Structure 1
């Protein structure tokens, strides 16, 4: 083969490698690809060439974040701008969003996200205009995030025929949700509200009636009502309530997952009809007031979840069980997975209860270590020995996972206790804490190898 022929082939290969294959794609496909970028980033592609100048108007997802916009504007003098970018660089975020919506050519969008975190103040009319535009385009996922001020919401949000997912997150100020007389969200399946306040009990009922297909409800720092509210959510499957206020009785026969967290300053009593079919319960109790009526309510919630398959408890929720004697503790006949933050000396007794009296339990996870020395007290920890204080057990536990493992003396004693009693254990996974040095890891590894194991098939993994 001659040199000229070789040079020709090399030149052809280089030409093929340098081809702009993305630009040759159909406009709609490029618009779909740009939908995965923040809108301000998608807009920057208009600088590439005249071919790309207005392709950002074909995105099926619009995401506006004023922080990103002002960061880009502050570096605008270092970049080459043309067309719409040059015109909007110094027009402000309001005109930027309005301009993009005016130019946008897609009639139906999947997601509209609006994050207002800058100190600049936006009029309610701007917010209403932008949300109305998204609703008119048949948006399916609407995400509103406000940090800088209290906002009002347009009624059109609660009358959308296309919304499947709605998220309203107010960081600094609580938003008053004015519910119109007619709420019609026939396709809404996921609702997440943070710092949203219902004005009265009737508003809550109207809202729930208008969301007949709602499957997941997340309420964070919300004010529901000072009155006792009774609502019906027949399709609801997952409910999360964190740090809310109010008193709610809910009829949700299909409810399978419940996450509940409260403190004494943020109190919400949640009464579930017994017809619900819970399989997962997470209870967080961040308070030192263990003997108030609300503590008893949380205790009743834990002991009443006898048919769950997964149970997740914080340390204070676990401490509530110390109120009970052995005869009051229920049997969790279907429990398969138990997750705990960490344990103190006086709560380990109840861990062994689950190990001994939950015949289906296969996995137990300690999210913050096996034992908290501060919770035990120095003197109590010095005197406490698992082999003396904890009864033997025989269980079907196959996996034990410990996070924030430090390899301390008490932790090794507890591991020895678990390994001697867990007859069918297959995996002991120890996730070391970030403070463990290489020398400490080697020493702990040697001590772990010396621990006796009842199960012949158990492996210990330190990672």
Structure 2
């Protein structure tokens, strides 16, 4: 085993070593040397701690002492990031001042790692298209030979990579990679140990005829290229234990990711996060974009987050009977009929989050619900002032609702649209289950701005808490007026406590 190799043989001159503090005082006397408790830990614990460090720092601990010389060779998780090297002017091919370069460093770390230790995680971040991608296949193959469990590849140029799970965290500039074709080795699609696979950037998912990922439970695909919808379906079908599927789609000018009719079909997926947002790429114009379509066929789905500003049609192939939580439903250009039909698949949810665009679509469709959300206990909704009657229609279909979060905004519609929908019926949950309400967006003292608030507190029998938050742009006089008008407002529930928050100041009716 190559474990006897000294850390210096790795080209450690370019890697920052540990910082040692001088324990001597002004008189030259040395203080008592503190006990090294970390070194007394079991070797597997030390290796686990080192796995949270960047690869360069983990390897640099080999300079601490002879006892630490080989700890890094038993680390099970590595994060290799080329930015540290490139910022120091060390390219992929050249050596500066005798230091090794990024490619040589990764090669030697993988070569000298203890081969008896399985690799838990291999994370690679590449920020320069000049990277020699031939090494990508070599490193992935090496990780597979070490029984890799988590593989994360980020091919994102010149961007921060701190929070890749956030949909707006970064956008991929595909033009930078136009002359490059990044492919994954075919053996990866039959890796028997892989449990998590995350791909970021212009990676081509050209899958083989047979895909077999028997242990894969989480798949995240961000701004990658698809050969076809059939290829994507083949990939998903080869994951019999897939529980979480996260997809971000991004387009650049007239170049799309390869699929117009995107179909997500899996009998086992429980969590689905789907983001299809033209704002992730400033060059994308939805006026000239083709007719995108999304189909969802996931009968075991329990959680759904859907933000689609491109698809003109979204279809739930079958009723989502297992669905419990629907969060961040946003769809700007989807047809009203498609939105109404999509909601028919949500009747079993317990938590529902609806955007203002969806409420506007439902308002235009003049939707009168034919069924009810019998299990819904928490509803978060964004509405315009002209849509509050549509909100009441929706609440009327939620007989077990306990928590209501309303955020209002100024829309272009007329408040008279509320009267056009006929008389307002007090929802059943107002007298039996609705206990907590939060209301955000009050801008002035006009009656129209307080309509929803007054309707709720004047009709809800079992309310316990109502929190009202105003916009920070109100002047002092309006803030005082709101305090007087809201905190002493008549309310039907004798146990209801109303609180008003303006900026960082909060006051409730219990103290009035």
State the TM-score bracket (shorter-chain normalisation): 0.7 to 0.9
What corresponds to 2:458 in structure 1?
Answer: 420
Relative distance call for 1:412 and 1:274 in structure 2 (3 A) is: closer
How many angstroms apart in 1 are the aligned matches of 2:320 and 2:471? 43
SS state at 2:140 partner: helix
The 1:420/1:228 distance shift into structure 2, 3 A limit, reads closer
Instruction: Please say if residues 200 and 222 of structure 2, whose CA atoms lie closer than 8 Å, have aligned partners that are also in contact.
Output: yes
CA contact (8 A) 1:112 1:139 kept: yes
Q: Kindly tell me: are residues 185 and 19 of structure 1, through their superposed partners in 2, closer, same or farther at Cα, counting changes over 3 Å? A: same
Tell me if 1:114 matches 2:124: yes
Find the counterpart in structure 2 of residue 128 from structure 1.
137
> In structure 2, which of residues 340, 355, 359 is the aligned counterpart of residue 299 of structure 1?
340
Structure 1 residues 54-76: Cα deviation after superposition (integer angstroms, max 9, x where no partner): 322222211122224445x479x
Question: Is residue 2:135 matched to residue 1:137?
Answer: no
Scaled by the length of structure 1, what TM-score is found? 0.79
Please, which of 111, 114, 119 is the counterpart of residue 102 of structure 1?
111
Cα distance in structure 2, aligned partners of 1:454 and 1:74: 70
Per-residue CA deviations over 1:19-74 (Å, capped at 9, x if unaligned) read: 11112223322111111222233234334334333322222211122224445x47
Given candidates 136, 157, 161, the residue that maps to 2:188 is 157
Change beyond 3 A, Cα 1:120–1:334: closer
Name the structure 2 match of 1:91. 100
TM superposition shift of 1:219: 1.5
Whole-Å separation in 2 of the counterparts to 1:339 and 1:272: 25
Provide the C-alpha distance between the structure 1 equivalents of 2:63 and 2:469, rounded to a whole number of angstroms.
Answer: 48
The Cα shift of 1:346 comes to 2.4
Match among 437, 440, 462 for residue 400 of structure 1? 437
Alpha-carbon distance change, 247 to 357 in structure 1, aligned in 2, over 3 angstroms: closer
2:303 equivalent to 1:257: yes
* 8 Å contact from structure 1 (residues 303, 329) kept in 2: no
Alignment partner for residue 364 of structure 1, among 404, 409, 416? 404
> What is aligned with 1:239?
272
Could you tell me which of 83, 89, 97 is aligned with 1:67? 83
Structure-1 residue corresponding to 2:65: 49
> Do 1:355 and 1:397's aligned partners in 2 also have CA atoms closer than 8 Å?
no
After TM superposition, give the deviation of residue 391 of structure 1 in Å. 5.1
Match in the other structure for 1:23 = 39
Q: How does 1:309-328 map to 2 (within 5 A)?
A: 309-325=350-366, 327-328=368-369
Alignment partner of 1:278 is 2:323: yes
Query: For 2:97 and 2:144, how far apart are their aligned partners in 1?
Result: 24
Secondary structure of 1:180's aligned partner = coil
Match of 1:10 in 2: none
Is this contact kept in 2: 1:88–1:96, CA < 8 A?
A: no
SS at match of 2:385: coil
Matched, 1:181 2:209: yes
User: Offset of 1:381 from its aligned partner?
Assistant: 6.2
**What count of residue pairs does the alignment treat as equivalent?**
419
Aligned counterpart, 2:200: 169
TM superposition shift of 1:448? 3.4
Question: What is the CA RMSD across the aligned residues, in angstroms?
Answer: 3.4
Cα separation, 1, equivalents of 2:36 and 2:265: 56
User: In the alignment, is the contact (CA less than 8 A) between 1:309 and 1:336 conserved in 2?
Assistant: yes
Q: Tell me the equivalent position of 1:453.
A: 491
Change (3 A) 1:447 1:328: closer
> 1:327 offset after TM fit, Å?
4.2
1:333-372 map, 5 Å = 333-340=374-381, 342-366=382-406, 369=407, 371-372=408-409
CA offset digits 1:311-360 (Å, max 9, x no partner): 211111111111344645542222211112x2112221121123333111
Give distance in 1, aligned partners of 2:70 and 2:470.
52
- Alpha carbons of structure 1 residues 384 and 335: separation in structure 2 relative to 1, 3 Å: closer
**What TM-score, normalized by structure 2, do the two folds share?**
0.72
Q: Conserved in 1, the CA contact under 8 Å of 2:262 and 2:294?
A: yes
Q: CA deviation at 1:161?
A: 0.8
Deviation at 1:361, TM superposition (A): 0.9
Secondary structure of the structure 1 residue equivalent to 2:386: coil
Question: 1:211, CA displacement in angstroms?
Answer: 0.6
Distance 1:47 1:261 in 2: 49
Q: Deviations over 1:134-174 (max 9, x none)?
A: 2222121111111133522222321111111111111xxx4
Cα gap change, 1:304/1:210 in structure 2, threshold over 3 Å: closer, same or farther?
Answer: closer
Structure 1: 5+ residue stretches without partners: 1-13, 76-85
Q: Which protein is richer in helix relative to its size?
A: 1
| Structure-1 separation of matches of 2:209 and 2:463 | 58
Say if 1:383 and 1:299 are closer, same or farther in 2 by CA, change over 3 A. Answer: closer
Q: 1:114 to 1:402 in 2, by over 3 A?
A: farther
Distance 1:246 1:160, change over 3 A: farther
